[in-house]
């Protein structure tokens, strides 16, 4: 099975130090913002702190997942640990959705009972936050190009920087015009942004965990490609899924024309090469059947559930010559 090693272009350890420092900086920032938000009475600042905290957590999860994902396959995890990063992303987006809903709820309450906000404290802390967000974004930018995991963390930082700009804006309006409703208004904007981003991303993550086919390839295209291979009479019982972000797998039954049964091995190899070249499928398993011993009552995608597996596979013998 070639092609198992093609998706780590970066020396993995080189990125770890950067992610580690990004975590340290973000954690420090979260504490500063939360304390500042409590003293200043600013919900927007606390919202930004929670967003930053979720960033720091997402970086910690991304950091741990990167480490775990490099472990080789073993008896308990025969596919390897690559999905650790996908699980990490799911945890991350789920937490963000909870945080977003909580902030929206708090902000709406504040519209009905506005509170005093210390504008100066808000502005000073938000400026510090903005600088730190930009530094963190710079640390993770290069790595974000090759990993969905780090890209999620990088996008968070950009969002944070925008959040800090919004908080600075709110603090300034409070200083100039004593306009208290701007604080919950900005909080709602931050919450809305968090929710919008999380709902947009979580679908793809769930799709991988549900063994869905990769979104950019239609399963029927693969079926057609396999049927076009010389000697392949038909295809059925196909499963096509993402093992992890950059690794796609397929298994299927190939029905080989009777008169070409002696060339079954070459036909199988050819089918595998077509999938690897055209669709970047890195892991294929084919079960070969002769036309006259092919499965009965088949279905194209997946296995029919109605009958026991034994009866479905009774008729064929892969090595008949």
Q: What is the pLDDT of residue 4?
A: 37
Collapsed DSSP state (helix, strand, coil) of residue 234: strand
Distance CA 154, CA 200 (A): 16
Placement of tokens 């397929």 in the chain = 250
Q: What is the pLDDT of residue 14?
A: 58
5 in a structural domain:
no
Residue 66's CATH number: 1.20.1510.10
> Dihedrals φ, ψ of 304, to 5°?
-65, 140
Q: What is the pLDDT of residue 148?
A: 64
Contacts 24+ apart (CB under 8 A), 311-315: 315/289
4 in a structural domain:
no
Are residues 238 and 139 located together in one domain of the fold? no
Domains contained in the chain, number: 2
Angle between helices 43-69 and 84-112 (to 10 degrees): 170
48 in a structural domain:
yes
Are residues 228 and 186 located together in one domain of the fold? no
Are residues 200 and 224 located together in one domain of the fold? no
203 in a structural domain:
yes
7 in a structural domain:
no
Q: What is the pLDDT of residue 22?
A: 77
Give the end of a domain, one of 209, 241, 257.
209
Q: Residue 132: which domain range?
A: 12-209
Are residues 64 and 178 located together in one domain of the fold? yes
Are residues 165 and 21 located together in one domain of the fold? yes
Give the strands of the sheet with 247-256, arranged side by side.
232-244, 247-256, 281-290
Q: What is the pLDDT along the chain (321 residues), one digit of tens a residue?
A: 333 333 334 455 656 777 788 788 778 888 888 888 888 877 777 887 877 777 777 778 777 877 888 888 888 888 788 788 788 888 888 888 888 898 888 888 888 877 677 778 878 888 888 888 788 777 777 777 766 667 767 777 777 777 778 888 887 888 888 777 887 888 888 888 888 888 888 888 888 889 888 887 778 888 888 888 888 888 888 888 888 777 888 889 988 888 888 888 888 999 999 888 888 888 888 988 888 777 777 778 877 654 444 433 433 444 433
214 in a structural domain:
no
Residue 296's CATH number: 3.30.70.1350
Q: Which two tokens mark 250?
A: 């397929």
Q: Are strands 232-244 and 247-256 parallel, antiparallel or unpaired?
A: antiparallel
319 in a structural domain:
no
Give the end of a domain, one of 209, 239, 274.
209
């Amino acid at each position: 099975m070639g092609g198992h090693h093609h998706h780590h272009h970066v020396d993995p350890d080189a990125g770890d130090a950067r992610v580690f420092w990004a975590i340290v900086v973000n954690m420090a920032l979260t504490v500063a913002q939360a304390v500042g938000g409590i003293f200043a009475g600013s919900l927007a600042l606390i919202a930004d702190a929670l967003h930053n905290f979720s960033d720091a957590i997402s970086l910690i999860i991304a950091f741990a997942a990167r480490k775990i994902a490099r472990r080789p396959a073993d008896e308990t995890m025969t596919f390897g640990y690559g999905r650790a990063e996908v699980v990490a992303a799911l945890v991350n987006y789920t937490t963000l959705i909870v945080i977003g809903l909580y902030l929206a709820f708090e902000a709406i309450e504040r519209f009905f009972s506005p509170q005093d906000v210390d504008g100066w404290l808000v502005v000073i802390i938000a400026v510090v936050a903005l600088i730190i967000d930009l530094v963190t974004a710079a640390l993770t930018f290069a790595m974000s190009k090759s990993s969905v995991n780090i890209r999620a963390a990088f996008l968070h930082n950009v969002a944070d920087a925008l959040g800090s700009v919004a908080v600075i804006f709110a603090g300034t309006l409070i200083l100039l015009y004593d306009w208290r409703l701007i604080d919950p208004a900005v909080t709602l904007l931050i919450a809305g942004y968090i929710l919008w981003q999380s709902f947009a991303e979580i679908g793809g993550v769930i799709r991988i965990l549900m063994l869905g086919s990769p979104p950019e390839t239609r399963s029927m295209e693969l079926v057609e490609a396999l049927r076009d291979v010389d000697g392949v009479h038909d295809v059925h019982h196909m499963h096509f899924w993402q093992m992890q972000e950059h690794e796609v797998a397929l298994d299927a039954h190939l029905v080989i024309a009777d008169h070409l049964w002696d060339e079954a091995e070459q036909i199988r190899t050819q089918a595998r090469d077509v999938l690897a070249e055209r669709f970047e499928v890195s892991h294929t398993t084919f079960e070969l059947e002769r036309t006259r011993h092919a499965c009965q009552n088949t279905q194209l995608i997946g296995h029919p559930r109605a009958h026991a597996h034994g009866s479905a596979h009774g008729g064929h013998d892969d090595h008949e010559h």
